Amino acid sequence: MKLTFIPRAALAAAAAMTLSACGINSVPTAEENAKAKWADVEAQFQRRANLIPNLAEIVQGASENERTILTQVTEARAKATSINVSADDLGNPDKMAELAAAQGQMSQGIGRLLASFEAYPNIQSNQNYLSFQSQFEGTENRIAVALRDYNEAVRHYNTTIRTFPDTIGANLIHGAEPLVPYSAVTEGAEAAPVLDMTSGS
């Protein structure tokens, strides 16, 4: 009887293929992708928060009502920036909901403030206002894209850890838990607001 020896390289390749088919590589890859997408979301949230101080000068030409809304926006900004959702918190639905509520409140406050400026032609023609409006719209669009990409990465990761054969590695080796997608608190809040650039002129 003739014995056939399989080369070590072939055994190593077969072992690697078996391991990769069981989620050893795909699970952490999908998880790291979701975490990277979350970092993009955080950057865009910070970009929006950084715009808020620019509103103070614009509001000077408005009424007490706008100053009250600005105060609310400033308070919402403080709350939103105080909630830190790290990569380790992405599986915590309560933490994600808390952040979504705070971010939604700030975004809605800015939207209300900008809408109220329609009654002030002098503000609408102000260069600071026009610059802020453009930056705000761009930032809201970036946030919408970043959230969409994050939610897609979470969907891919959650599918990976639940689908055979990746679920073997996900459960036995990684102890993988599902991540929480970002859900806007208010219907339509994930969509960038459309601001009328022509009204009041």
Q: What's 179-193 look like in SS3?
A: CCCCCCCCCCCCCCC
pTM: 0.79
pLDDT for the residue 201? 36
pLDDT for the residue 75? 95
pLDDT for the residue 193? 43
Q: How far apart are CA 48 and CA 148, in angstroms?
A: 17
Give the contacts of 190 (CB within 8 A, at least 6 positions apart). 144, 147, 182, 184
Confidence at 184, pLDDT banded by 50, 70, 90: confident
Token pair belonging to 36: 């990277």
Alpha carbon 63 to chain centroid, angstroms = 34
pLDDT for the residue 89? 95
In this structure, is the dihedral angle defined by the CA atoms of residues 55, 59, 65 and 68, taken in order, positive or negative? positive
Q: How far apart are CA 141 and CA 191, in angstroms?
A: 8
pLDDT for the residue 199? 39
DSSP 198: S
pLDDT above 70 for 194: no
Confidence at 192, pLDDT banded by 50, 70, 90: very low
